[in-house]
Structure 1
């Protein structure tokens, strides 16, 4: 009897805690203190002064993102990926702009969707939802905090203020 064997593929699981430092490099935001929230479907980013506009017939959004920790306070412009109803922390649906950008944690990076919303009164200005982590070989340790390290380039960039477009 012939048997067919596929080569074994090693998958390195990245273990993260419920709170981690993450980056959104295309937006110029590095070292953000984020809550890893597997109860949330969509990731969310604190944004104020949200203004949609057209650039060459393509819908874009301009917003301000400010963090209380030692990360950047920045104005951002980027294309709108989608607009959809997302339940807020009280369970009430609200229409939000969705942007698509690069997300980095530890030494890994991939594309995620982020909803833009006012989170001034929230402890965490960024929430990383389960869709952003799905199929990425990430394990969340609910008892752990800051289990990963920022890449050295992120450490060097923190503290700068600039205007950026992805």
Structure 2
């Protein structure tokens, strides 16, 4: 098979255009994230190997309000978060347990976590993100952002960078359609 120089040139000219057709933002391994509804800014770890976002929470309870299931929780970030937060339950997420996190004699290799929607501001971008609630107080970062949320942010993650987006600076209304 012989390549035609004109066809090859046309293909090479087309490839860079397709790479930039979808605008992506470069973020570092760690970023500052604002949760405007909670009047809170936290540091987050961006993890392309995780599917969902996880926020550090404690005393998580489900309850009914007007026939709908809601979740009440406290942030497990530091001692200053002593007031409960209440949000509608979006769904329950099945999270695979790590090898050291379960007893092999048990049949459950998954744990069910409540998922709520929260507005996240990272850099200059604001999105409504589903986040599961679990106690992450043993971890360095109270917020883990997985691939679902990273996709919604149009994120490219460069693990050699930290805080590449700078401090969050977003408008007050999230765009959940993007």
TM-score clears 0.5: yes
What is the count of residue pairs matched by the alignment? 144
- Paired residue secondary structure (2:141): coil
- 1:23 is aligned to 34
Structure 2: gaps (5+ residues): 1-17, 102-108, 172-178
Q: Aligned-pair distance for 1:122? A: 1.2
Residues 69-148 of structure 1 aligned to structure 2 (within 5 Å): 73=81, 74-90=83-99, 92-148=109-165
Contact 1:30 1:72 (C-alpha < 8 Å) held by counterparts: no
Paired with 1:135 and 1:78, the residues of 2 have a C-alpha distance of: 21
Paired with 2:52 and 2:167, the residues of 1 have a C-alpha distance of: 23
TM-score, normalisation: structure 2 = 0.72
- 1:61 is aligned to 71
Structure 1: gaps (5+ residues): 1-7, 155-166
Return the index of the structure with the highest Cα Rg. Answer: 2
More helix, by proportion: 2
Paired with 1:153 and 1:111, the residues of 2 have a C-alpha distance of: 12
List 4+ stretches of structure 1 deviating above 3 A: 8-12, 88-92, 151-154
Paired with 2:76 and 2:159, the residues of 1 have a C-alpha distance of: 27
Contact 2:124 2:169 (C-alpha < 8 Å) held by counterparts: no
CA RMSD in angstroms comes to: 2.5
TM-score, normalisation: structure 1 = 0.76
